[in-house]
Amino acid sequence: MPYLFTSESVSEGHPDKVADQISDALIDNFLAWDADSKVACETLVTTGLVVLAGEVKSSTYLDVQKIAREVVLKIGYTKAEYMFEGNSCAVISAIHEQSADINQGVDRKEKQEQGAGDQGMMFGYATNETANYMPLALDLAHKILLELAVLRRENNDITYLRPDAKSQVTIEYDDNGKPIRIDAIVVSTQHDDFDTEAAMQAKIKQDVINILIPRIKSQLTPELAALFNDDIKYHINPTGKFVIGGPHGDTGLTGRKIIVDTYGGKGAHGGGAFSGKDPSKVDRSAAYATRHIAKNLVAAGVADEILVQVSYAIGVKDPMGVYVNTNGTAKVNLTDGEIANKILEIFDLTPYGIETRLKLRNPIYSETAAYGHMGRESEVVTKTFVSADGNSKSVEVELFTWEKLDFIDKVKSAFSLA
């Protein structure tokens, strides 16, 4: 029987994502100056205020106020009328030193013996329904907001956009789990004030359908573009007015959009958030590792979709176990349990092994903090950091290493695939 599935996304200007981006900017700056930094940093944003809190063990000192303001301005909160603006908002820091009790469970004399930074279970997922091996509804929801941000910065075809926005896409699937059409699209975008609410709703709906959606379709394969149809139910700013938004309209906190960060509810999410955590925290690093595993297995032809779970005990280097669910789509003559055993033969899932393989001790995290940690393109970029005393440092880093299809040959060999 056909069914509907929905995923949502939020923009970089959404208050929770503002908080995530500030936390990850701090992570990047700590790692740029001290790659061995241990950081767990939380951010709260509200009207005219940024609050930073957390635990740090690092040899470097940062001007955290300056870093937070730069993030807020880059996102687009540059006007006093937003009631949250990068140059004028207060920034309060309550960051303190990491607990020695936690640190002794992580650091070891030999780095290879490094223990997990926390207990918990983490999930990775991949499906071949899109080119980037992501669930289609979430991929489209991200694309809508990425393009909306491009339009906002162009300030050309659409001139009234403000930074806060949300999207949601509902896909109809057939009996075989294949997408057959888009049933509904929701877009709520913050905007400048209009003369009347009716004029506002008419203009924004017209621009979303006639400007934004065609730009999305142009990025898709013909097969996926064909899922857009004349019967789509559009809900554009369905509450009406959305002038008050961002941290002034809703307090933001680090780690409150974890399903947006991963698979839109199509796969699974473990017990923790990602942003604000250095890679010794397996909440983050092992989630990246399991995505890397799932994506390479699907791309190699092991299954059409795969969910991988790994779990850890704090201070212990080896995982408690690996679980696999192919949802009956496996193309190899093995049980899901046997596939899990193969994974342990191919991939090093110790915290040190994950950090090393995926190059996670580099300042690569700011780019993850909006529009999803998964399904992005791996690329090499040069980033520049300025220390609290004014020294400048440029670092070449590889982003989204967990999205690389660099283990396909090893997977094919292990599973005897041609």
Q: Which residues of 53-65 are buried (b: 16+ CB within 10 A; e: fewer)?
A: bbbbbbeeebbbe
Residue pointed to by tokens 């709520």: 188
Q: Which residues are annotated as a binding site?
A: 14, 16, 42, 55, 98, 164-166, 241-242, 250, 256-257, 273, 277, 281
**CA–CA distance, 38 with 116 (Å, rounded to integer):** 12
Strands 120-127 and 305-312: antiparallel
Q: Which residues are annotated as a binding site for K(+)?
A: 42
Q: Which residues are annotated as a binding site for L-methionine?
A: 55, 98, 250, 281
Confidence at residue 109, expressed as pLDDT on a 0 to 100 scale: 61
- Find out whether 85 and 254 touch, Cβ atoms under 8 Å: no
Per-residue pLDDT of the chain (418 residues; tens, 9 = 90+): 899 999 999 999 999 999 999 999 999 999 999 999 999 999 999 999 999 999 999 999 999 999 999 999 999 999 999 999 999 999 999 999 876 655 555 665 667 778 888 899 999 999 999 999 999 999 999 999 999 999 999 999 999 999 999 999 999 999 989 999 999 999 999 999 998 888 989 999 999 999 999 999 999 999 999 999 999 999 999 988 999 999 999 999 999 999 999 999 999 999 899 999 999 999 999 999 999 999 999 999 999 999 999 999 998 999 999 999 999 999 999 999 999 999 999 999 999 999 999 999 999 999 999 999 999 999 999 999 999 999 999 999 999 999 999 999 999 999 999 7
Confidence at residue 100, expressed as pLDDT on a 0 to 100 scale: 62
Confidence at residue 1, expressed as pLDDT on a 0 to 100 scale: 81
**Whole-number Cα distances in Å, 119 to 115, 248, 286, 312:** 10, 35, 11, 5
HSE, side-chain direction, 13 A CA sphere, residue 282: 32
Confidence at residue 107, expressed as pLDDT on a 0 to 100 scale: 62
Q: How many CB atoms lie within 10 A of CB 128?
A: 15
Q: Which residues are annotated as a binding site for Mg(2+)?
A: 16
- Find out whether 166 and 399 touch, Cβ atoms under 8 Å: no
Domains annotated for the chain, with CATH where assigned, are: 3-10+134-245 (3.30.300.10), 16-108 (3.30.300.10), 120-128+260-414 (3.30.300.10)
Residue 16 in 3-state DSSP?
helix
Confidence at residue 215, expressed as pLDDT on a 0 to 100 scale: 98
**CA–CA distance, 25 with 31 (Å, rounded to integer):** 10
**CA–CA distance, 356 with 156 (Å, rounded to integer):** 44
Confidence at residue 149, expressed as pLDDT on a 0 to 100 scale: 98
Strand order in the sheet with 120-127: 120-127, 305-312, 321-325
Q: Which residues are annotated as a binding site for ATP?
A: 14, 164-166, 241-242, 250, 256-257, 273, 277
HSE, side-chain direction, 13 A CA sphere, residue 147: 22
- Find out whether 401 and 130 touch, Cβ atoms under 8 Å: no
What pTM, to 2 d.p., does this model score? 0.96
**CA–CA distance, 166 with 145 (Å, rounded to integer):** 7
Confidence at residue 101, expressed as pLDDT on a 0 to 100 scale: 56
Angle at CA of residue 380, ends 376 and 384, nearest 5°: 110
Confidence at residue 78, expressed as pLDDT on a 0 to 100 scale: 98
Residue pointed to by tokens 């937070």: 68
Confidence at residue 110, expressed as pLDDT on a 0 to 100 scale: 67
